[in-house]
């Protein structure tokens, strides 16, 4: 499988070609619970994570909820 390079939280990362957003999270060991994802600076609803395809040069920002006060 060919790989493409994307940026995840400011770090260049090789991913599987034609991976969905949820597949990228799984590949990178990023839990999908309690987080929000921005793809190229646009927040993606969790309902679309299975259908959004990540492409070469994309930038993902993963935000995790942190409890506390």
pTM of the predicted model, to two decimals?
0.85
pLDDT in tens, 42-55: 999 999 999 999 99
> What domains, with CATH codes, occur in the chain?
3-64 (3.10.20.30)
pLDDT of residue 18: 77
Phi, psi of 27, deg, nearest 5: -60, -40
Task: Please choose, from the candidates 13, 61, 54, 15, the residue with its C-alpha nearest in 3D space to the C-alpha of residue 37.
Answer: 61
Do 17 and 1 touch, CB atoms closer than 8 A? yes
pLDDT of residue 32: 85
């Amino acid at each position: 499988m060919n790989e493409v390079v994307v940026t995840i939280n400011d770090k260049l990362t090789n991913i599987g070609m034609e991976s969905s957003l949820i597949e990228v999270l799984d590949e990178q060991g990023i839990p999908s619970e309690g987080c929000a994802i921005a793809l190229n600076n646009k927040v993606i609803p969790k309902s679309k994570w299975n259908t959004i395809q990540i492409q070469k040069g994309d930038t993902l920002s993963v935000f995790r909820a942190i409890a506390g006060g």
